[in-house]
Amino acid sequence: MEHPTRPSRSSRLHARYGPWALVTGASDGIGRAFAVRLADAGFDLVLVARRRDVLEHLRAELESRGSVRVVTIAVDLGTSEGVRAVLDATTALDVGLLVAAAGFGTSGPFVDAPVEEELGMIDVNCRAVAALAHHFGGRFAKAGRGGLVLMSSLLAFQGVPRAANYAATKAYVQALAEGLAVELAPRGVDVVACAPGPIASGFAARADMKMSMAGTPESVARETLDALGGVRTVRPGLLSKLLELSLAFLPRWGRVRMLGVVMAGMTKHRATPARSLGEGGP
């Protein structure tokens, strides 16, 4: 419960990073949860995803809940044209917060997957994130205020068999966020890496992975926004924290082996690699 004489967390968030927030991967999962929470906090929103019909449905839902403005951009962030469309569409908007939640993952042996999809994952999970963080980080630094939320993962801290390329892309995002947090702090910009564990969303279903005891997208969005400006890496959810603690004392090779066992268990119901093309994964 908020203290009656203090501004709420939502009002502080809006005062620090408003009036506009940009959320990529907003059509479902974690990205959608961020969009809903930011709308409830009073942000006007730019929502980015591939599926125009889903974005428009979300826009109508959010606009019906209050006096927020919502701009939708249906593009593929795996292309340079898609990233440029986002930058062009937001030139005149006072965006103060970027939530880069778009991403996709695969599960299964790396060499058995089509290389085009694995390279496409790098384009979405790494190249697009770098381009957006560079552009908006620069804008925020010039303004002396702003926030970047970059989606890492519990898998980002070691190699992971049967999710090797996905884990590698998230290791890039984790390292980028850690470096940017130090670079941009003196210029008034807050950066947080969000590193969740298993999340109950469409991501796992599309990657054909079975998850138990998974957290929720809503808890990820809440804990991450609460942590922004306070810590540089947040691990939302009790399960994520327990998994991180259980791995912390293992040598790196031990973490690789342990998570390989976990991934094998999550994908043992099938023999062929599966792919997820959704926005916002664990």
- Exposure letters 32-41 (e unless 16+ CB within 10 A, then b): bbbbbbbbeb
Do 49 and 27 contact (CB within 8 A), yes or no?
Answer: yes
- Give SS3 for 159: coil
* C-alpha torsion sign, points 27, 31, 32, 34: negative
| Active site (catalytic) residues | 166, 170
Dig out the tokens for 279 from the structure: 């926005």
Residue closest to 73 by CA, chosen among 46, 99, 53, 43: 46
* C-alpha torsion sign, points 47, 27, 263, 245: positive
- Give SS3 for 93: coil
Dig out the tokens for 178 from the structure: 């850690």
Instruction: Measure the CA–CA gap between 223 and 194, rounded to whole angstroms.
Output: 9
